[in-house]
């Protein structure tokens, strides 16, 4: 959540970026203990914004505060990025996973309108996102094979 500066009469703005990305990974380093990957990803990103607060209306005899709330979203647009990560085998079917990625989201910088055509808030514009993830995975074989099968032809 991003809150506007004091003096804007308690105005609050919440933004969310949703992305649907396809990822391609290449594992340049592989070993028995783990592997490292580099990846590229691309797809669509979408911005939603919710703004609420109160405005001082000075028309008429008595100035008064008017509360408002609006929800708006921009159109979907391009997102591209790159990632670097690794997998470390912990034993017993468990592995530790890490990933760091950078994604550039091309979003609108125009005023986003709600369903009634009311200008809610300015779009975020082009937005870079940097994220890191760490996790643990358990690997299991649904096929019931004792070991991976390899085929050699002569």
In this structure, the chain runs to a length of 154
Phi, then psi, of 42 in degrees rounded to 5: -155, 160
In angstroms, the Cα distances linking 32 to 35, 88, 110 are: 8, 9, 51
In angstroms, the Cα distances linking 103 to 5, 21, 122, 129 are: 28, 10, 21, 5
Judge if pTM exceeds 0.75.
no
Distance separating alpha carbons of residues 80 and 96, to the nearest angstrom: 26
- Look up residue 12 and give its two tokens: 């609050």
| pLDDT tens-digit readout, 36-52 | 999 999 999 988 888 88
| pLDDT tens-digit readout, 88-116 | 999 888 999 999 999 999 988 888 877 77
């Amino acid at each position: 959540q991003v809150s506007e500066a004091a003096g804007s009469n308690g105005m609050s703005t919440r933004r969310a970026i949703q992305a649907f990305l396809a990822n391609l990974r290449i594992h340049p380093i592989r070993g028995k203990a783990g592997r490292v990957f580099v990846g590229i990803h691309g797809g669509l990103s979408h911005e939603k914004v919710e703004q609420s607060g109160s405005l001082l209306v000075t028309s008429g005899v008595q100035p008064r505060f008017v509360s408002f709330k609006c929800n708006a979203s921009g159109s979907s647009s391009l997102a591209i990025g790159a990632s670097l990560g690794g997998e470390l085998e912990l034993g017993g079917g468990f592995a530790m996973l890490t990933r760091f990625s950078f994604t550039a989201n091309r979003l609108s910088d125009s005023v986003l309108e709600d369903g009634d055509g009311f200008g809610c808030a300015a779009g975020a514009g082009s937005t870079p996102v940097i994220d890191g993830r760490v996790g643990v995975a358990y690997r299991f074989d649904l096929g019931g094979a004792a070991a991976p099968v390899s085929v050699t032809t002569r």
